Structure 1
Amino acid sequence: MINDLRNLLATTSFPYPMTNTIEVTGVNLTTAPKTELDYDIDMEVTVSDIAMINDLRNLLATTSFPYPMSNTIEVTGVNLTTVCYPNVCYPNGNGFQCRCEERFALSYDSCVLYTHCDDIIQGTCRCINAIPADGQFCQPQLPPKTELDYDIDIEVTVSDIAMINDLRNLLATTSFPYPMTNAIEVTGVNLTTVCYPNGNGFQCRCDERFALSYDSCVLYTHCDDIIQGTCRCINAIPADGQFCQPQLPPKTELDYDIDIEVTVSDIAMINDLRNLLATTSFPYPMSNTIEVTGVNLTTVCYPNGNGFQCRCDERFALSYDSCVLYTHCDDIIQGTCRCINAIPADGQFCQPQLPPKTELDYDIDIEVTVSDIAMINDLRNLLATTSFPYPMTNAIEVTGVNLTTGKSNRLGIFSSAFLSRYLTEIFIYAVTLEESYSSSCIYQ
């Protein structure tokens, strides 16, 4: 517009009447608006003494910027970017090494072309073994790129349901990440939900590895089973836009048994604790991920004369070793007791009482054929000198053997070796019976 104004003034005749009493005798365009021009100037300086580089650094560090050169020119800043000096370690001794100053670096192409002498980090280096012929010296280091991840939900309407399979095939054959521009790439695309007409409404189904939340399953009427708080089919298009989400892996539950010792000043508080536990519902949630499945009061220890006496609560008992070591104060029944006269030093307090073992008794008849009737007496003597019960394994014992009937040459067991075989036959037969019984019965 400045030129337009110049042309207008050049073609206007002066004096120029404004009114009968006012005229403009002349107009001059005197001052053009200031235009600020910024220049980046690269300067190469040759010095005869490498020590002068430090002098230059100190000078720049103590100079205030912007620095006025004249009324119209000022230097806004000076950076020492690159220092190149003879490299006496270079193979032929005639080369140079160039190093970048702080906050400057060389491009990847320069690092490779001129042989980098330090590591290439994030596509840049700070040392090369030559003076760049293209004048591409060290440049300001850019801050590291910040990657931003976005999850974008896209709804696509198709006129033919068969196009869904085409879309699946397209996604299956597309390689990811897929570059959109130099700065944007698509890391993956998932087909999550397919909704299609169903009678007078719609039905939405999740694709593989996706599921709907429990709230959506209930709100929009699920059309398959709810498993672990999710379903994969509903009878409506979610109005809130909450379509299928990635299925989380099943939670891993870890069970811990924690022993807690509580010291009370009043023994009556034990009853209060029993009442509290009796009226508390379990499992008891502590947080979203932790719940207490149960609390048992196992052992109560209280002063008794000069020591302590520990008693087990209902359904708990002490081991036989603890009963003996700490002097039991009630009867030992089936290898356990419920009262000892000390606090166990090893921390082995009362444990849950195991249900009593179920004993099964079998009467087994065995017929034995012998070649010599005199061996019957040997059998009688052997049985008379054998101690019963006779253990066969940890779980099986023979409580007794009776010789009941002799019939001419039929009957008997002979010698210690033969008795051993005889008892072994009983054991095998008993095990067979027990396995047969176990397969058809449930022990509780």
Structure 2
Amino acid sequence: MEPVMMKLRIIIMLYVTSSLDIQSLSHAQTVSEEVLGVNKWDMMLPPYMDESGNNLKQERQVNWKSFKYMISIKINSSRVMVQDRLRTLLQGNLFPFSVSQNVIVTKMNLSTTPPLKLFKYTTDIKINASREGVIEQFRDLMRKQKFPMCVKKGMNISSANITTVCLSNSSKTECKCENRYTWPSEQCSKHGVCGHSQNGTCGCISSLPTEGVFCRPPPAPLKSFKYTIDIKINASNEAVIEHLRALIRGQKFPICVKKGMKISSANITTAPLKSFKYTIDIKINASKEAVIEHLRAFIRGQKFPMCVKKGIKISSANITTVCLSNSSKTECKCENRYSWPSEQCSKHGVCGHSQNGTCGCIASLPTEGAFCRPPPAPQKLFKYTIDIKINASKEAVIEHLRALIHGQKFPMCVKKGIKISSANITTVCLSNSSKTECKCENRYTWPSEQCSKHGVCGHSQNCTCECISSLPTEGAFCRPPPAPLKSFKYSIDIKINASNEAVIEHLRALIRGQKFPICVKKGMKISSANITTVLALQ
């Protein structure tokens, strides 16, 4: 809040005697006591009244003079509370009231005066001088002057600077700026630059401006604002985070985004929390089988995931193993597709079905705290086609290999998790002194580019062939036959309007003479055509 000046105006009546014999007056004696420091402010009666209220002024009027004073007290306060409190204080007093026996305050008033507005002017003064020494003398005068300098009441000169000095002789004219002032860009381009320039401004021009312009003050420094921006990045792959870390580490800061805007630094503050998954086995001893049934019902009715506390959830719960024992036997059965591993099955004996070395029930209680294990996750299936090249000097080796493949049952297990689903001889190349032939077997064919490159030595179909006349050097083999295309059959009815019966006869002859199927385009054929209905109108 702006400070407000308050003026407290007090009107005081002062009564003094005109007699020289001061000691003979009781009220004068009181004044002397006031001067000596004796406090008599408890006397509330005017000096011309006695305790009975009788007016003594008429009796001794010649001995009293009355003086009236108006006293103004200036109070500066920036808080409204101070002003309100002073108003309340004045309103609570009864006027007139006596300060001492001879001094009475008749009334008090409070008035507020707003602060004066401050106006700031910049005045350019042009000085013509025939000697440079005048400029030096003026510089020295300003250096010695103390600012602010009071011109008159309410007017101060806060500072003074020499901004522009123009020196001219017969050969050249230069107008230079001083005290960090500069010429604007339009003056630099108009009059020519005679010194250094920066950001479109210059400190010296080569001619005298005629329009009365002067060097301008340096621009106020721009305020710098600093912002911290949080950017949230969602990434399903941790490699993205690592790539971002490497990018930030390799970046040089600050980075200029555009003029006046820079990125001073960048940091990764929060990385996604890693998720840890635990499997906890809980062993429950119960004397009644009904407890197990109650637990089954409880788990079936529970919705998962179940939040335990912030950051911890139970994703699922299962009863895996139930061991029941009586006087005659003990059985430990697995539930929910869990199974006993092979070592537990062989150690404790199997009391149910077994598969792939695992079992669902063992005949004794494991003492080492083992439980049934969850079913293994299904493995991903990958299919590979492997070409094997065999060099043989005898054709009998090829025949032996054909017989071996024909007699093999597929799929053939190589090791756990690896099977050979099928095996075929695709390409057989035979070469002698006169010729070389590379033939395809088992409906495999050479692609068109191999047929045209090496020459065909057998029949060809649809640009493919089964035999080429030289050995491919790039390691190519015959390719498997393409998968058969699906065939779609459509019946299309065509209506023909004809005014002459001869048109119908001509169409019959055309269909009878046509050979079917007719190829319309690749992959499209007309298998047959028939006239089904003829309507003749009389």
Range into which the TM-score falls when normalised by the shorter chain: 0.3 to 0.5
Larger strand fraction of residues = 2
Q: TM-score, normalised by structure 1?
A: 0.41
Q: TM-score, normalised by structure 2?
A: 0.35
Return the structure number with greater relative CO, CA threshold 8 A, min gap 6. 2
